Structure 1
């Protein structure tokens, strides 16, 4: 197993001087070099060798273990990447242990997102800058301005998905003039969701119009639906993707993992991408560089499209180089139309589920099993589902409206008559409107559900958190970022506990859950979804993953949940993020 070291003492730049809702931006476009160990002290001024610390102890904290008894302790000791002691008083601590005084701060297990699209976020063209923590146009400007200093001249500052104008006080995108006020000497591109709308600044407008893409006087770029057809936004995204190199995507993937660490998300379960309608490789004249890299080389592609055979190359390369800073698990999205299912059959024959290292490994088939998943019930989907069961793979399916989950549950019951799935831990994802009777049927099949709060950006209605938890079915949370929802788990916990959407309007009446219940969905409830990996709680023998918060999760006002951030995130005892405030 390849040694994976965490990034030490890397800082992100907070958007200073903004109002309480100001975004936390990347540290001027964090560029991560080869990681260093957090437990290696800085070299003395004399140049003498730094002492090596084999263990790391965190003391004097409020450490919520999230174990079966919800123990809260003051100290933990991490050895060889795992929790070695979890107690109020550590014993037998040697001199070569680095101690960090938590100063009474709240500590949680590393947060686990069981459904998102982090690989796609890593493939964003330009210097992708998350706007999910911005709550006004002014916050957007502050975040983009904070990103600019390390973006080289001629390079783009971009935001593609993961936010929605509904979260801004103004309830609209920033204009060309407002973007120019934030950054005038770098092209800027900001896109909503799969396929827009989008907006750009003066430099960006000049580029897009030179490519024949219509841009309004206010910088606006018209949207499409992201699945079928071509729109000005998709054409703009296409042009940006053509300028990417493989090194760009490596850097962007590092940035993506670094951002995840600032919001405490230490493990991510990626759910794949729509297959690109074209692909580019060595020798192609598509501007994607000398190596075959995952880029959207079709003008019809939206933000959720990627070359399915190559999209994981940046992540795999970083893993080989020992540069991964958080844990990523990869599901394989199947969207096949051929009724003989050659692609799925090859996947089931030639790939192993839950195979890899502690940092990167494969997962299940999902979040689609075949093309028919969008037009259920469908014979191709049913045949694909039968093959997955026969191969004894785990399976995850996307569901949005009642006909989705009804057809899926009924189909799974049919397949279960042929090949038992009751021990395979199949998962129904999103479930914004699932009912108690279908939850009971899923539970009888040994299945679980993933709760995605993407409706936070719209009505805020669903998923039915209270109904799901009361049913007793296995459940965990996944934001479904990074196109239509945020990555930040604390935004989703705000939605789950208050029922409020991005406009502050209660839309999920009667389905609110407690903060402890919401936290369980990101911690102790998650191991079942990862074939019982040792994650999600702070217990002896589990991965040494934790997040030290800037405030107390259990006592901050409701609006304060959205402002929670990490001051120190450890993954396997190594710092994936360190704000430099603990000693």
Structure 2
């Protein structure tokens, strides 16, 4: 338990970052807050471990031993006894579709961290009872059947009918498939021995030999869209409450900052209002821009790229990078096993990339499959010959199938790798598609040893789950949610934590403010219920934040639910 106490008396011997403390005491007023008697994992360049941290307003002013930091306190300094708990920097996700999720989050039956199929069924049954007959019970990704350690089999229509006979049910497994019960099939106009509704991808509605729909809709992202488009969304007057529930869940997970792909204007407006009121509890750095879907749209996009203005915000909300797509026909489908970028498509992609470079814009672009990555690097190398990109922080995102030679090409260009391990929940699906090669998707060991600047993200909330400690568990063990070994290039827990904190700060252009617990940086911190550095690796996924702090404000406490 973390305790508020009136005085500090504990003295410890620990590596300290307080060489200038005498001068600090003489020059600055007493800090507003001291966290003491903990294990402060600073994630600085030396990965220093300290005991205490002092905070004034929204920034860290000192880090070091209990005895040294205690001397900084004054009569009005608040003190929190960490009781030996581990504290890490606020976790940063470099790529999440966060704001989009605000429109449905409060309505969804989310299965992040649920490792039992029985528990998932119990949750479904309870939700149906809570919402009442006729109301939808649904989720839009963030889970996969293989995460259920007790029973990994797919859901059936008959099973879902038995659990929720009076409710339409739609359960979207990542972007792979959707499970529907009979009321949901009827709601979508999917009937036995009848033509498929015109808005569904041809062949995506699975039927048995008699023509009866099985309740499974399968066919990658495109097949899931007609369903997601018709599922309930939060009413405009409830959007603020729904977004607040989303942010609270992110804080509960230890997340404090995000690279956000697609900053939905209606949700962003709410965040801006919260910021003005001093109650925005996450930091949002938008990834956006005028991508093009057709040759005709490219000219329009070129004009808009030239007019694009970034870095007009602050350390809470800003637009920082062009992405996530450039020319969308080259946007790899999530479960495709091979791509075939055509020369005429790549020419259009290069035209746009050239304009992005000419405008001096950063780039964060979706690139998953090996042939796509090679093709994009060919174009970027051509752009680089005319307009050097080294200082623009161009990044390839997802990169689950990247290899060592591609990483080397990226390093020579000064590029970054935004790594989003889809296998955290989709490992079994990826092994079906890629076979033995899936064990190197992503090749975290190769990426880490290369020296490229890289960071971890989720690509949540549909493609993947959103819990950063589950991602860290995957990175350290090679095991997906549910415990199956799906990746053979794990990395150390220190390197994984660096990738989810200090290195990710570079992707959101906040390396001077975020990512480590150091004097001068913003006080974004997470206190954990057990020690990330010493517990058995298989337990990393089970760690729970006890307290999350953003800018020196406590935004989540485990005992204050």
Question: TM-score by structure 1 length?
Answer: 0.76
> Which stretch has the larger CA shift, 140-149 or 569-578?
140-149
When residues 578 and 179 of structure 1 are mapped into structure 2, their CA distance, relative to the original with a 3 A threshold, is farther
SS of 1:194's equivalent in the other structure is: coil
* 1:529 to 2:520 alignment: no
- Give the Å deviation of 1:190: 2.4
Distance in 2 of aligned mates of 1:463 and 1:267: 23
Aligned to 1:37: none
Aligned to 1:7: none
- Give the Å deviation of 1:198: 2.5
Distance in 2 of aligned mates of 1:320 and 1:206: 44
* 1:397 to 2:388 alignment: no
When residues 110 and 157 of structure 1 are mapped into structure 2, their CA distance, relative to the original with a 3 A threshold, is farther
Match of 1:518 among 492, 496, 509: 496
When residues 504 and 207 of structure 1 are mapped into structure 2, their CA distance, relative to the original with a 3 A threshold, is closer
* 1:492 to 2:471 alignment: yes
Aligned to 2:45: 68
Aligned to 1:473: 452
Distance in 2 of aligned mates of 1:564 and 1:395: 34
Aligned to 1:162: 142
Aligned to 2:354: 386
CA contact (8 A) 1:63 1:107 kept: yes
Q: Which runs of 5+ in 1 are unaligned?
A: 1-52, 274-293, 295-308
- Give the Å deviation of 1:197: 1.3
Q: After superposition, what is the alpha-carbon deviation per residue over 1:251-290, rounded to whole angstroms, capped at 9, x for unaligned?
A: 33222211111111111111239xxxxxxxxxxxxxxxxx
CA contact (8 A) 1:125 1:240 kept: no
SS of 1:442's equivalent in the other structure is: helix
Alignment of 1:343-422 (within 5 A): 343-374=300-331, 375=341, 377=343, 378-422=346-390
CA RMSD of aligned residues (A): 3.2
- Give the Å deviation of 1:450: 1.3
Aligned to 2:171: 190
Aligned to 2:549: 570
Distance in 2 of aligned mates of 1:514 and 1:108: 16
Q: Which has the larger radius of gyration?
A: 2
Distance in 2 of aligned mates of 1:581 and 1:316: 26
* 1:131 to 2:111 alignment: yes
Distance in 2 of aligned mates of 1:149 and 1:361: 41
CA contact (8 A) 2:190 2:213 kept: no
CA contact (8 A) 1:110 1:523 kept: yes
CA contact (8 A) 2:31 2:72 kept: no
When residues 187 and 326 of structure 1 are mapped into structure 2, their CA distance, relative to the original with a 3 A threshold, is farther
Distance in 2 of aligned mates of 1:323 and 1:477: 27
Distance in 2 of aligned mates of 1:159 and 1:198: 10
CA contact (8 A) 1:254 1:324 kept: no
Match of 1:538 among 505, 510, 517: 517
* 1:238 to 2:229 alignment: yes
> Which stretch has the larger CA shift, 468-477 or 216-225?
216-225
Distance in 2 of aligned mates of 1:488 and 1:185: 32
Distance in 1 of aligned mates of 2:134 and 2:64: 53
> Which stretch has the larger CA shift, 142-151 or 513-522?
142-151
* 1:223 to 2:217 alignment: yes
Aligned to 1:19: none
Alignment of 1:185-334 (within 5 A): 189-194=170-175, 196-200=177-181, 205-206=182-183, 209-210=186-187, 212-214=189-191, 221-225=215-219, 227-228=221-222, 234-241=225-232, 244-272=234-262, 312-316=268-272, 318-319=274-275, 322-332=278-288, 334=290
Aligned to 2:336: none
SS of 1:476's equivalent in the other structure is: strand
- Give the Å deviation of 1:451: 1.4
- Give the Å deviation of 1:153: 8.8
Aligned to 1:444: 412
- Give the Å deviation of 1:529: 1.6
When residues 221 and 236 of structure 1 are mapped into structure 2, their CA distance, relative to the original with a 3 A threshold, is farther
- Give the Å deviation of 1:150: 8.1
CA contact (8 A) 1:246 1:314 kept: no
When residues 146 and 264 of structure 1 are mapped into structure 2, their CA distance, relative to the original with a 3 A threshold, is farther
Match of 1:87 among 64, 75, 78: 64
Match of 1:424 among 367, 382, 392: 392
CA contact (8 A) 1:56 1:79 kept: yes
Distance in 2 of aligned mates of 1:512 and 1:162: 22
Question: TM-score by structure 2 length?
Answer: 0.78
* 1:110 to 2:110 alignment: no
SS of 1:197's equivalent in the other structure is: strand
SS of 1:223's equivalent in the other structure is: strand
Q: After superposition, what is the alpha-carbon deviation per residue over 1:177-208, rounded to whole angstroms, capped at 9, x for unaligned?
A: 876888788765422223731245xxxx5466
SS of 1:496's equivalent in the other structure is: helix
Distance in 1 of aligned mates of 2:560 and 2:272: 32
Aligned to 1:338: 295
Distance in 1 of aligned mates of 2:452 and 2:35: 35
CA contact (8 A) 1:128 1:252 kept: no
SS of 1:423's equivalent in the other structure is: helix
Q: Which runs of 5+ in 2 are unaligned?
A: 1-29, 193-206, 332-340, 432-437
Distance in 2 of aligned mates of 1:388 and 1:476: 23
Q: After superposition, what is the alpha-carbon deviation per residue over 1:508-562, rounded to whole angstroms, capped at 9, x for unaligned?
A: 22x2111111111011212222223410000011111011112111222232111
Distance in 1 of aligned mates of 2:96 and 2:79: 34
SS of 2:231's equivalent in the other structure is: helix
When residues 123 and 321 of structure 1 are mapped into structure 2, their CA distance, relative to the original with a 3 A threshold, is farther
Distance in 2 of aligned mates of 1:220 and 1:546: 47
Distance in 1 of aligned mates of 2:398 and 2:311: 22
